[in-house]
Chains A and B, each alone.
Chain A
Amino acid sequence: SQQGEEDPQALSIQEGENATMNCSYKTSINNLQWYRQNSGRGLVHLILIRSNEREKHSGRLRVTLDTSKKSSSLLITASRAADTASYFCATDARQAGTALIFGKGTTLSVSS
């Protein structure tokens, strides 16, 4: 089963624009992570935000977490064509030893 649901399913923007993706989840979490996947490849970790954090930055990425709404957003600023990929949120349930559960992803297309 999948814990997270990303929104939108697909997003098309021009280079230089910002891209925002949202993730909603169902159960209490320890942390939430975002991963990126280029077509036909494995996933690459982007950023992790803990349940007691509200916002985190890494380069052009900004992640927010609202545990009361069980939701997170990923903002990519000044998008580049190389940002074209699928983006997934992943959560861990609060029981120890439970593996990460991924959402269905947002497919981002950045055109030059």
Chain B
Amino acid sequence: DTGVSQDPRHKITKRGQNVTFRCDPISEHNRLYWYRQTLGQGPEFLTYFQNEAQLEKSRLLSDRFSAERPKGSFSTLEIQRTEQGDSAMYLCASSLAGGEKLFFGSGTQLSVL
């Protein structure tokens, strides 16, 4: 069990650039979640997948954000035309369908200058 891995760990970008993050869940987990966390706050739900289907999206997820999980394994989260307000830790988690406990990766820290 290698756990949930996220890449990169840190990303610094300039405002207006596009960024893409990758998440590899625990191999037998068919649910995958994306959360965003800013300093001093709890994780805010963005979206989740069961296998390759995106089942729920938060209203926080503007049209600049898109997530995919093409083969039901790894997932990517893309942010287009980044803004300074996008600076945050982006956390990925996975679970078994019907499982209640989430397993988190270490996150990708995004800084938009």
Q: Is B one of A's binding partners?
A: yes
B44 is an interface residue with CB less than 8 A from chain A:
yes
A31's nearest neighbour on chain B, judged by CB, is B100
Q: Cβ of B43 and Cβ of A102 under 8 Å apart?
A: yes
A104 touches B40 (CB 8 A): yes
Residue of A nearest to B104 (CB): A42
Taking a contact as CB atoms under 8 Å apart, the answer to whether A104 and B42 are in contact is: yes
Smallest beta-carbon distance A108→chain B, Å: 14
Q: Contact between B101 and A33 (Cβ–Cβ < 8 Å)?
A: yes
Q: How many A-B residue pairs have CB under 8 A?
A: 59
Contact across chains for A48 and B56 when beta carbons are under 8 A apart: no
A88-B43, A99-B56, A101-B45 are known contacts. Are A43 and B102 too (CB-CB below 8 A)?
Answer: yes
Distance from B43 Cβ to chain A, minimum over Cβ atoms (Å):
5
- Chain A residues lying within 8 Å of B41, measured Cβ to Cβ, are 2, 104-105
Q: B25 on the interface (CB 8 Å rule)?
A: no
B42 and A42 contacting across the interface, CB-CB below 8 Å: no
User: Does A59 have its Cβ within 8 Å of any Cβ on chain B?
Assistant: no
Q: Which residues of A contact B35 (CB under 8 A)?
A: 102
Contact B106 A88 (CB under 8 A): no
Query: Could you tell me which residues of chain B, from 33 to 54, have a CB within 8 Å of some CB in chain A?
Result: 33, 35, 40-45, 48
In contact, A42 and B107 (Cβ under 8 angstroms): yes
Contact status A99-B33, CB under 8 Å: yes
B100:A33 contact, CB within 8 angstroms: yes
Q: Which residue of B is nearest A46, CB measured?
A: B101
Are A105 and B104 neighbours in the complex by a CB distance under 8 Å? no
In whole angstroms, what is the CA distance A48 to B100 when docked?
8
User: Per-residue CB proximity of A43-58 to B under 8 Å, as 1/0?
Assistant: 1110010000000000
- CB-CB nearest in chain A for B89: A40
In angstroms, how far is the closest chain A Cβ from the Cβ of B2?
14
Bound together, the chains give a CA A98 to CA B102 distance in angstroms of 13
Chain B interface (Cβ < 8 Å from any Cβ of A):
4, 33, 35, 40-45, 48, 55-56, 91, 93, 100-107, 109
Which residues from chain A sit less than 8 Å from chain B, CB to CB? 2, 4, 30-31, 33, 35, 40-45, 48, 88, 90, 92, 97-105
